[in-house]
Structure 1
Amino acid sequence: MPSNIDTLVTVFGGSGFIGRHVVRALAKRDYRIRVAVRRPELAGHLQPLGKVGQIHAVQANLRYPASVGAAMRDSHAAINLVGILAEGGAQSFEAVQGAGPGVVAKAASAGGARMVHVSAIGADENSPSRYARSKAAGEKAVLAAVPAATILRPSVVFGPEDQFSNRFAALARVSPFLPLIGGGLTRLQPVYVGDVATAVADAVDGKAKESAVYELGGPEVLTMREVMEIILAVIERKRMFLSLPFGLAKLQALALQFAPGALKLTPDQVELLRGDNVVSDAAKAADLTLEGLGVTPDSLEAVAPQYLWRFRKMGQFQKKSA
């Protein structure tokens, strides 16, 4: 079996939540990995994921094309994972998720490298959400520069370091109730970060179709209320649900967008919850899914107990319920 040790993959945004799992998946397949991030001094946690010298962090910022070009030097493949959930300073949706992917794709094209771009289900140039519009703009920019690029659109991603299940578990630890925006009826298809990382690595391997947009979802479609019920069951806490109409939630978000930690909620995030976040029938019919890549997805209920135990009253020492 041929080795990938001579193949250099540059991962933009590799120090983040999804990034660390992608780096681990690539390291297991013996790729050499260059992690391009704004703050390479904060990427030291990636080193133990591979062999000595296999993973190297460099400085790059998608808003500065010269830094992206330097990070791509001699690379055989580029992976763009850079994304933000909320804006801050110069890190706007348009700059990071709209224009940024195109900068990476142009650098990949210049070097003849394979391009894999991770976007999001819900990317839509006509969406009322600026986040979703910027994701669509990013996809368009990538395909304009590298028509053969593979685009992966995951649904809500969960895992040990996520800002999804951990966020609601943390909120349940300090609040007597959990908010259900829009009544908690929005449908999601939570996908495990390890499965997303496998899909990215498969795309680098060349197992995914070129010029294709894959939609990655977990094994089941859940409403927001059902997601919270699973989280509460895992952390063994009982909390009341408070239904918030979209209008009231958006009004509250005007203040909560400045709140810290689990309390943070932006008006744009409220807009995102107006639409379902699930794999489309078209993607299923075309086999542009995890299953189409040969990946059997793990469920939130199966994986969450492995990392949410810390939100139980007695943590790992809490006796199991009967």
Structure 2
Amino acid sequence: MMRTIDWVNGAVEIIDQTALPGELRILRLHTVGELIAAIQSLAVRGAPALGVAGGFGVALAARVHGDDPAALALAVRKIESARPTAVNLARGAQRAAVLLPHGPEAVLTEAFAIRDEEIVASQAMATLGADLVVELCGARPRLLTHCNTGGLAAVTIGTALGVVGELHRRDRLAGVIASETRPLLQGARLTSWELARWGIEHRVAVDSAGPFLMARGEVDAVILGADRICANGDVINKIGTYSHALGAQRAGIPFLVVAPESTVDLDTPSGAQVEIEDRGAGEVTAFGDAVNPAFDITPHDLVTAIVTDRRVIRVDRGEKP
């Protein structure tokens, strides 16, 4: 399985997600500026992958600016703030930056540790999540997912889509609906591409169709990822998540969030304290003005359960992260 992001011969290599599904393109990033541009253009995206990018970004900064403390500190701050909503990016950068006094190789070693932990976490989430889905939905559920949560969003395997893959491996999956995820179509472009590579039967639906398909009985559970999980269980995820949560509640089906422990932010009490990134009007339309929030906040009372690599949090039973 290809890695979405890795360190290869002194540079960060990523799969350019903006080129998919038409082209599988590998980018080599040699500078902090190139890495930040890749993050902001969504060439690399997904909470776990961004955490790894944060660590590798500080490793790049340590090599380039090791003799200039002021430039090094500025580079680290720029990496941390490249995308403000997802907690993993800043957390990965901060974790690697702690090792800066010990030199570039110590920083790189810590960045490798972040990468390897996310790989292990993906497999753990796949197992825990698949067990929970079977428990809640029976042997062969039909699932709806939103945005992209596969290996492209992590390093390998993924979060929510990793659970889908594990169910498929167990022959416990009846089918998948991938919402297209406007405006950049991460579901239609990326999730569909990954599901096809795995040989998983799936259909793509427009975002607004999700709640109706649930109401019509075509979905047994909603399963998706998160960019930040607040202390009270509020979930920050790709815009459109809240609508699917409302649809799942109305239809009486589970709404499941799968994200690593590195995405749980106990320092943020609720979604009200999270800065929601606005991507600008250009992604939506070339005519007139537009509002384009990249994420939304799903209140914890709409969440059935949160699956991490270490535990299952039954939010519907009053459990908190």
TM-score, structure 1 length as denominator? 0.34
TM-score (norm 2): 0.35
